[in-house]
Amino acid sequence: MSSFAVSHEEDVKNLPLDVLIHRTAGGCRASFDQVYRETNRTVFGVLMLILRNHDDAKDALQDVYARVWVKSSQFKSTGSDPRAWIVSGKDIPWLSADGVPG
């Protein structure tokens, strides 16, 4: 059993964000929900800065977390803030190929 194994949903609150993302890759919904709770305000703020439209930012927020759920197995712990990985991604549909709103 992993040292980060948890038996109850409320126990994920004490895990580091990178561990939560790795657990999300294993299909742990409680970990995914905690990733969202810990990061959604920051991510939404970044999206507002990029898109400058509330409705577009709300739509993009859904895209970002759908990507987190699907691609969390590709996350690599590098020591940097995992939020950077969450808001990055060349496959995000609301960004053009050069990384600006499309």
All domains of the chain, ordered by start, with CATH? 15-87 (1.10.1740.10)
Beta carbons of 68 and 60 less than 8 angstroms apart = no
Structure tokens at 71: 């691609």
Please list the ranges in the chain whose pLDDT falls under 50.
1-3, 7
Beta carbons of 26 and 5 less than 8 angstroms apart = no
Q: Hey, CA dihedral for 91, 94, 95, 97, is it positive or negative?
A: positive
pLDDT at position 92 is 63
pLDDT at position 102 is 55
